[in-house]
Structure 1
Amino acid sequence: MSTATEFTLHWIIDPLCGWSYGALPLLQATADAWPAQNQLHAGGLFMGYSRRRIDADWHLHVRDHDARIAQLTGATFGDQYREQLCRDQSVVLDSLPASAVMLELQHFSASDALAFLSAAQHAWYVEGKDITQTAVLEDIAANLAISNDMWQQLSSKAASESAAKAIEQTRQLMAQTGAQGFPSLLVQRGEQFINVPVNRFYGEPAALVNQLKQALSA
């Protein structure tokens, strides 16, 4: 029988994904229960050819989705986000900047990486700040007491290149395991990966932890 340390929880998310934002309490709950086994992956929702500028069609699309996310998860979407950021057609949706900082930070501290993700998504979805911009991400890092020397590493070209490679590997993992969309949660034991239906647990982090505990003790 596998012991409690012989598994990894792989969370596949995107900083610019509303459903990933709604799943933050679930991520935090599993991180609290299993801090050493919780791992964040970036899925690259808006990367390369998928990058796009905010326009009227996108605004209408996310308006309906955000209402559904708020209903199911209890997530808060601020007025600055809904009325200003979602209408700002100068903004180009690009997942890489925030993803690169999160992934690089995770090399040093998983808890700091999750704290950064949470702060970045709060900045985007509540405060209406454009987290595709380096200056915005730098302010978030400073508020988290991340040193200037550390920030230089987190925001470096090398970190972005490493993140791009990691995102490609994550996409391959999703294809191999049948994981679809963001967020996805995979439980790994040895070479085996099990998809967890995250959508069943929105708004119920304790229920997710209990379900995982039962599955991991089997």
Structure 2
Amino acid sequence: MTTTVTYLFDPLCGWCYGASTAIQQLGQHATIQLELAPTGLFSGGGRTMDVAFAEYAWSNDVRIAKLTGQRFTEDYRTQVLGNVGSRFDSTTSTLALTAVALTEPARELEALKVLQEARYVQGLDTCAVPTVEKLLRDMGLGAAADRLIAGDAELLTANAARVHKAQGLMQRFGAQGVPTLVVTDNNGSRLLRGNALYGSVDSLLSHIAAA
């Protein structure tokens, strides 16, 4: 029996990056069908990086690193958090993932990992279209890069529908934030909170089975 696990996340969410190892392993599991559901949590709103927000983000990132072992490099701290006045907006990365979902859906999870590591390890600005376009092309995802640049109506409509669906799931199950999982099997659908993503994959699978 296959269990569907819907992953509610945002590409600029540090805690979601912290859950990356578990999510990547989940995506390779034979009995799990993983669906990515970007929530648009950090899309729009006009937020820009300032000193106070950068300090708040870094304090969270230090906690995430200690809990999960994920790397938050000095390049990220200086080039991303230190870039005062830059945009903090996940719209571009979210659109890029939808473009991959439309063109090479089997590689969307891989693309998410690349986007996260580009930001938190390489210190690249994944809010910027040229940066994300190059990342996609370097992965051989030229069709997705073309869609991102064109910003065509189908892409925008598909992206809006994905975000709307994800937000609807969050409201339906009372999710307080991301990362969060919605587990669906023969017993129906139920919420599995994100803290289950910070242990071993065996522990995560046990939570999914028991959810």
> Secondary structure at 1:170's aligned position in 2?
helix
Counterpart residue identity of residue 124, structure 1 = R
Deviation of residue 129 (structure 1)? 0.6
Deviation at 1:111, TM superposition (A): 3.6
1:151 Cα deviation from its structure 2 partner: 2.2
User: Match for 1:45: what amino acid?
Assistant: L
Gaps of 5+ in 2: none
CA contact (8 A) 1:14 1:44 kept: yes
Aligned to 1:8: 4
1:153 aligned to which of 141, 147, 153: 147
Residues 24-74 of structure 1, C-alpha deviations (whole Å, 9 max, x = no match): 11111111104871100111122233x300001101111110011001111
2:164 alignment partner, one of 168, 190, 197: 168
Tell me which residue corresponds to 1:196: 192
Query: Which runs of structure 1 show a deviation greater than 4 angstroms over 4 or more consecutive aligned residues?
Result: none
The answer as to whether partners of 1:54 and 1:86 remain within 8 angstroms in 2 is yes
**Size of the alignment, in residue pairs?**
209
1:181 partner SS: coil
- CA distance in structure 2 between the partners assigned to 1:55 and 1:22 by the alignment: 23
1:66 alignment partner AA:
D
Q: Taking structure 1 as the reference length, what is the TM-score of the superposition?
A: 0.87
Is 1:52 the counterpart of 2:44 in the alignment? no
Give the letter aligned to residue 19 of structure 2. A
Q: Does 1:206 align with 2:202?
A: yes
* Distance change >3 Å, CA 202–CA 165, structure 1 → 2: same
Is the Cα–Cα contact under 8 Å of residues 105 and 154 in structure 1 kept in the other structure?
Answer: no
Distance apart, 1:165 and its partner CA:
3.2
Aligned CA RMSD, in angstroms, stands at 2.1
The normalised TM-score by structure 2 is 0.90
- Quick check: 2:133–2:148 contact (8 Å CA) kept in 1? no
**2:38 matched to which residue of 1?**
42
Which residue of 1 is the match for residue 85 of structure 2? 90
Where do residues 122-141 of structure 1 align in structure 2 (5 Å cutoff)? 122-141=117-136
Q: Between the two proteins, what is the percent identity of the paired residues?
A: 28
Q: 1:146, CA displacement in angstroms? A: 1.4
- Superposed, which structure 2 residues align to 1:53-72 within 5 Å? 53-72=48-67
What do the CA deviations read for 1:97-120 (whole angstroms, capped 9, x no partner)?
111111231244444101111001
| Residue of structure 2 in register with 1:26 after alignment | 22
What's the CA shift for 1:12?
A: 0.6
- SS for the counterpart of 2:28 is helix
Counterpart CA distance in 1 for 2:184 and 2:165 is 16
- Give the 3 Å change call, closer, same or farther, for CA 191–210 of structure 1 in structure 2: closer
| Secondary structure at 2:40 match in 1 | coil
